[in-house]
Amino acid sequence: MDVALRNHWRLMWGMMAAMGLAWVAQAAEPAATRPAEAGGATLVPVPADMGKDAPPQRTRAELTPLLAKPRDARATARYRPLHVTLVAGPKDHGPGEHDYPAWQKAWQKLLAAAPQTKVTTAWETPSDDDFKSADVLVIFKHKAWPRELNEQIDAFLARGGGIVLLHYAVDGADNAEHVGKCLGLCWRPSGKYRHGHLDLEFPDQSNVPFLRGLAGRKLHFHDETYWRLAGDPAGIEVLATGTEDDGDGKMVRIPLIWNRQAGKGRVHVNILGHYNWTFNDPLFRVLLLRGIASAGGVKIDRFDDLATVDVAMKE
């Protein structure tokens, strides 16, 4: 065997060995930290063994009444430029749950497809540049923000910025007083939660832009609710509620989606988001996209074209 051929085979064997070691490392990685394959770039991956529990596909008939007519390039060119920063943190639950990094990756691609929209990402906390230039911070991780960011959060809201908080981000932890002041309500250790099927009930207020096509309706989801939150519900604009057994068969109405005006700034909270599949639900996408638009102070239907990207639906 000549030298060139021998070197060729040495290189091939080296590559194969490296691939084998990589496979072993991946196989040894805990399933909870290993992302599943997504069906599309903007979908948050759902592990195959969770498929049996996933909600059924939505129908186009469910979605169409909620969406604005497609806009042409001339219309979208007139949009005000919007800078959205997606803030995520380490995954803290099992497979297909609380997958903040996978959400951030998928929704960065989804929102980047929107006209006149700049999307950046941050890990755990927004950067100084984010606080200076972002119009909306979307926070999906455990805990809202630490005390050392309180002044920057206040300044961000004072200049008219918007904040969207999803699911476990409503935990104020040791900063609950400030987080609660900004959100209106926040998680506390004595709060209650439940995983499972739930109905989002929307108030019959057709004059509220967020509720266009939703006023007086119910939408069914499979996710997680929180209630007995700290704060004063009188200080929030409730956009959707659920009903839970608060003990001894006492059924209570609980806020699950709400807005809060914070000076010139706007805060939007959506308690759902426990399961990855929720972010692939086109109806939930409508809700979250409207929440981002609301927090950004732009037309509520600005992101409607993104609701069905990569999503499979029944005709």
Residues in a beta bridge with 199: 220
What pLDDT does residue 219 have?
Answer: 98
pLDDT at 83 over 70: yes
What pLDDT does residue 57 have?
Answer: 96
Check residues 121 and 72 and name the one with the higher pLDDT: 121
pLDDT at 286 over 80: yes
What pLDDT does residue 16 have?
Answer: 39
Per DSSP, the three-state class of 294 is helix
What pLDDT does residue 237 have?
Answer: 98
**pLDDT tens digit string along 156-186?**
999 999 999 999 999 999 999 999 999 999 9
Q: At what angle do helices 150-158 and 176-183 cross, to 10 degrees?
A: 10
Q: Which of 226, 254, 225 is closest to 238 using CA atoms?
A: 254
What pLDDT does residue 35 have?
Answer: 38
Amino acid (1-letter code) at residue 84: V
- Answer positive or negative: Cα dihedral of 190, 144, 209, 281: negative
Per-residue pLDDT band at 12 (split at 50, 70, 90)? very low
Q: Write down the residue that tokens 């070197």 correspond to.
A: 7
Is 81 exposed, middle or buried, given 0-12, 13-18 or 19+ CB atoms closer than 10 A? exposed
Amino acid (1-letter code) at residue 2: D
pLDDT at 105 over 60: yes
